[in-house]
Structure 1
Amino acid sequence: MAVQVETLEKLERRITLTLAADTIQGEVESRLKRLARTVKADGFRPGKVPLSVVSQRYGYSVQYEVVNDRVGQAFNEATNEAKLRVAGAPKITQKEAAPEGQLAFDATFEVYPEVKLGDLAAAEIERVSTEVTDAAIDRTIEILRKQRRSFGLRAADQGAVETDRVTIDFEGKIDGEPFAGGKAEAFQFIIGEGQMLEQFDQAVRGMKVGESKTFPLQFPADYQGPEVAGKEADFLVTVKKIEAQNLPTVDEGFAKTLGIKDATLDGLRADVRKNLEREVKFRVMARNKAAVMDALARSAELDLPKALVTTETERLIEGARADLKQRGVKDAETAPIPAEIFAPQAERRVRLGLVVAELVRQNSLQAKPEQLQKHIEELSQSYEKPADVMRWYLGDRQRMAEVEAVVIESNVTDFVLARAKVVDKVLPFDELMTAA
């Protein structure tokens, strides 16, 4: 086998591979003979089918397999010998002109780029922190109360007020004509909790059971239903039932319903604080990691392999189709999704992946066993049976690979923050928890 390596523009390379034709033919004949031992054909006993019949039926496909195998092997040997790190799959084409008795192929491919990391000391990064306050604990307990509330019928002469659950019939029309999704019977929602548009919510307040009302409603220009977005509709609403909420009292009994071991008020607040601090820790880590990754992406210099960007784009498209399928969209698997929609995201992912890998390699930031163990323990604490969750992680390579990636990113974040110009910012609890 003779090997020629050409450098094309940027990351592209081309290798010319030549293989002996008699070697290919010998391998084809050997595989056909093995195939003849098991192949079945009409008029012949198993294992007695003539080689000529087997060759006529399977010769082309076997030759295709052999050539693929041999070219792949030759490509791997050539790139290993040249110490090339191949990015993505090569494009193989057979050359018409070849030395006598030889088959020649061109393999065009890309290699991983040289990554020039920026000066971390010159990078300015905002590092946030957040405190779990007593007010945050109070709000969380109030949410827990709402999750366990019950509803009871209001008196017939009482109008609907905020926090009431109302059951209504309604029908909306635009220019006197009904529209899709504008009509419902026995529809329930809770007043004041943002489940309906504000105009609709306000219109129902004060209404009594059996009462009907017609009112105008202006749909927002950015409303999720494009057929009604920006238009004005007239709604007829009839109240069928009004139920007042009953919130549980925050006491030891309430704490017991939450499964808290120390079922006291102090124990309840301590448990809520512990859970909030765990959630805050992960959100702060994610926020600071994102800031670090942005800084790394801005400061590094490298060319992006097109093959890796294409692969990442396809992965994002498949993820989008899977999401559409989960939402019940018909024919989601074949939904036309333009690749350019995900191109910027794919390029960023590839860029960060290469930059992080180089930073990890240069500074030995790989995940250590004790770090993996600690991270899994932290993840497990939010579940009822932490030991079972730990076994679930430890028993699967894919899940452990995901944990390893998180730990490596954490190592990178700590490494960069220790060297960059850090601007510390205290983020209010509510802002951290509502941020996307």
Structure 2
Amino acid sequence: MQVTETLNEGLKRAYELIVTAQELDDKVLEKLKEAQPEIEMKGFRKGKVPLPLLKKQFGKRLLGEAMQETIDAAMSKHFEESGDRPAMQPEVRMTNEDWKEGDDVHVAMSYERLPEIPEVDLKAIELEKLVVKADDAAVEEALKSLAETAQEFKSRRKGSKAKEGDQVVIDFVGKLDGEPFEGGSAEDYPLVLGSNSFIPGFEDQLIGVKAGDEKDVTVTFPEDYGAEHLAGKEVVFSCTVKDVKEPVAAEIDDELAKKFGAEDLAQLKEQIRERLEAEYAQAARAVLKRQLLDKLDETVSFELPPSLVEAEAKQIAHQLWHDEHPEEQGHDHGEIEPTEEHTKLAERRVRLGLLLAELGQKAEIEVTDAEMTQAIMNQARQYPGQERAFFEFVQQNPQVQQQLRAPIFEDKVVDYVFELATVTEKEVGKDDLQKAVEELDDE
């Protein structure tokens, strides 16, 4: 195997590989010798078929396989000896397209190597961590919200008109072209006006009704309604209002606490305080992580592989375009050219991604099987009833596995850096923390 460098410019590398005809022939014979003990052929005992005969019958079939294995081995040897790590899959092509059996094989290989990452003194990094305590006012506010979710309804004074947020208890019969249709009737149905749980327009027409009223509600089913015989059709619901009830927040007491699994109100307050502080801590970590990434981006500089930056810029442009055009679900919108701003953001992401990967590799940080399983389970919950299918989908798709593994690995590296950096704590109010979180979204 002859290897000749043809390009060495920045991070770009190119080589010409020549696999001689003799090397290929030797490789084919090697593969035939490996298979010979198991081959049976008429007129010969198992394992006793002569190599020349095997080569005549199977040689051409094995030639392509031998060629690929030889080139792969040469590439592996090259990367091992040079220490180069390609930024993306190397481009490999055969240059003597008129090749025929007995000729040498000429192959061109090109790639961009990953850059050398400079050492970073992690202990010299200074960070400020925001700390927020859940005060009594925040706990009381959360308690009040809980009480509202546990609200009940009590009958309004006789003759009171239903308002948005009230619950009306109704009997109704739905009719299509004057005939009742299946599934369109119910008795003593409790409907909260403004909940949007019925067909659009239904609840609005019940605002102002009183107990004892009878009212015909005319609505049109959506065009994409599940039942085809009703989709896009106008129907009339004959409603009898049996009661009008107003919402009443639950009392904040031990009984409320028991509804949420606590022994008493004191325990519920403590649980709320712990939950709030956990939420504050998660938000503060996001702010601290951005602060760390900004510091690293400012202090560390190295050459970036153009192919990685270009691919990341295109991905950013594509994602932002879809964010701005949520009505476009497909990807047949033509090519979206990245702007200078997209490229600048891509350079930051690639730089930080390579740096964190280097830090993680040197610290021997790995994503465990248990962590991956937990990540897959978290994702699978988004597909109720299809969890097993999702697990199988992930197992069969290395790219999806990498998408799940990457953020876990990044967070573990960030935590590793936090341990080495100098982190001081600053106690602030929740409004200050909220402002800091909003600034993350603005950047």
| TM-score bracket for the superposition, by shorter chain length | 0.5 to 0.7
Counterpart AA for 2:292? V
Counterpart amino acid of residue 164 in structure 1: D
Paired AA for residue 259 in structure 2: T
Amino acid at match of 1:411: Y
8 Å CA contact 2:131–2:284 kept in 1: the answer is yes
- How far apart are 1:268 and its partner, in Å? 0.9
Matches within 5 A, 1:199-210: 207-209=208-210
Q: Which residue is 2:254 aligned to?
A: 252
Conservation of the 8 A alpha-carbon contact between 1:3 and 1:18: yes
8 Å Cα contact 2:129/2:423 also seen in 1: no
**Alpha-carbon distance, 1:25 to partner:** 3.0
Distance 1:160 1:430 in 2: 41
Task: Report the CA distance between 1:284 and its aligned residue.
Answer: 0.8
Shift of 1:300: 2.7
Out of 22-31 and 133-142, give the one that drifted further. Answer: 22-31
Q: Give the match for residue 157 of structure 1.
A: 159
Aligned to 2:283: 283
What SS does the aligned partner of 1:259 have? coil
1:140 counterpart residue number? 142
Range with greater deviation from structure 2 (242-251 or 13-22):
242-251
Match of 2:434 in 1: 431
Runs of 5+ unmatched residues, structure 2: 41-45, 173-184, 218-237, 379-394, 396-400
Residue in structure 1 matching 2:413, options 408, 411, 427: 408
Q: Distance in 2 between matches of 1:430 and 1:212?
A: 52
The letter of the residue matching 1:253 is E
| 1:11 and 2:16 correspond | no
CA shift, 1:12, in A, is 0.8
What is the match of residue 173 of structure 1?
Answer: none
C-alpha contact (below 8 Å) 1:297/1:355 kept by paired residues: no
Q: What is the match of residue 224 of structure 1?
A: none
Q: How many residues align?
A: 356
* 1:30-88 deviation digits (Å, cap 9, x = unpaired): 55787899999xxxxx99x9999999998776433322221111011112212222222
- C-alpha distance in 2, partners of 1:60/1:426? 76
Equivalent residue runs for 1:245-324 within 5 Å: 245-260=247-262, 263-309=263-309
Q: Distance in 2 between matches of 1:244 and 1:328?
A: 38
For the 8 Å contact 2:314–2:337, the answer to whether it is kept is: no
Deviation at residue 269 of structure 1 after TM alignment: 0.5
CA–CA separation in structure 2 for the residues paired with 1:309 and 1:368: 25
Matched to 1:283, the amino acid is A
SS in 1 for 2:142: helix
* Change in 2 beyond 3 A, CA 1:124/1:341: farther
- Give the Å deviation of 1:358: 4.3
Amino acid in structure 2 at the alignment position of 1:207 = G
1:184-263 to structure 2, matched below 5 A, reads: 207-209=208-210, 243-260=245-262, 263=263
Equivalences for residues 53-72 of structure 1 within 5 A: 62-72=62-72
Measure the CA separation in 1 of the matches of 2:436 and 2:160.
37
- State the alpha-carbon separation in 2 of the partners of residues 275 and 54 from structure 1: 73
Distance in structure 2 (CA, Å) of the matches to 1:153 and 1:53: 96
Supply the distance in 1 between the matched residues of 2:19 and 2:162 (Cα, whole angstroms): 84
* Corresponding residue for residue 78 of structure 2: 78
The C-alpha deviation readout for 1:299-339, integer Å capped at 9, x for no partner, is 4322322444466679889999xx9xxx9998x6x766856
Name the CA distance, whole Å, in 2 between partners of 1:123 and 1:280: 23
Change in 2 beyond 3 A, CA 1:283/1:3: same
Relative distance call for 1:402 and 1:191 in structure 2 (3 A) is: same
Q: TM-score, normalised by structure 2?
A: 0.58
Question: Secondary structure of 2:160's match?
Answer: coil
1:128 corresponds to: 130
Q: Give, in angstroms, the shift of residue 114 of structure 1.
A: 3.1
Distance 1:352 1:150 in 2: 52
Q: Once structures 1 and 2 are overlaid, which stretch shifts more, 238-247 or 267-276?
A: 238-247
Q: Secondary structure at the match of 1:136?
A: helix
Say what the alpha-carbon RMSD is for the aligned residues.
Answer: 5.9
Deviation readout 1:219-277 (Å, 9 max, x if unpaired): xxxxxxxxxxxxxxxxxxx99875532433222232222223xx121111011111221
**Residue deviations 1:81-123, cap 9 Å, x none?**
122222221111223399x963222210111113457899999
Which structure is larger by alpha-carbon Rg, 1 or 2?
Answer: 2
Q: Take 1:240 and 1:119, find their aligned partners in 2: how far apart are those partners?
A: 75
From the superposition, tell whether residues 94 and 269 of structure 1 become closer, same or farther in structure 2 (CA, over 3 Å): same
1:357-413 deviation per Cα after TM superposition (whole angstroms, max 9, x unaligned): 44567xx666599xx99xx9xxx9xxxxxxxxxxxxxxx998888655423212324
TM-score by length of structure 1 reads 0.58
Going from structure 1 to structure 2, the CA distance change for 1:305 and 1:190 (only over 3 Å counts) comes to farther
Deviation at 1:143, TM superposition (A): 2.8
Residue 355 of structure 1 corresponds to 355
Distance 1:74 1:337, change over 3 A: same
Aligned-partner Cα distance in 2 for 1:243–1:50? 95
* 8 Å contact kept, 1:22–1:101: no
Measure how far apart 1:154 and its partner are: 4.7
Contact 1:126–1:424 (8 Å) recurs in 2: no
The aligned amino acid for 1:149 is: Q
Tell me the equivalent position of 1:216: none
Using the aligned pairs only, state the percent identity.
Answer: 22
Secondary structure in 2 matching 1:245: strand
Give SS of 1:113's match: coil
Please say if residues 32 and 55 of structure 1, whose CA atoms lie closer than 8 Å, have aligned partners that are also in contact.
yes
* Partner residue, 2:116: 114
Q: Is the 8 A contact 1:162 1:205 kept in 2?
A: no
Q: Is 2:97 the counterpart of 1:94? A: no
- Kindly indicate whether the alpha-carbon contact (under 8 Å) linking 2:91 and 2:111 is maintained by their aligned counterparts in 1: yes
Counterpart of 2:27 in 1: which secondary structure?
Answer: helix
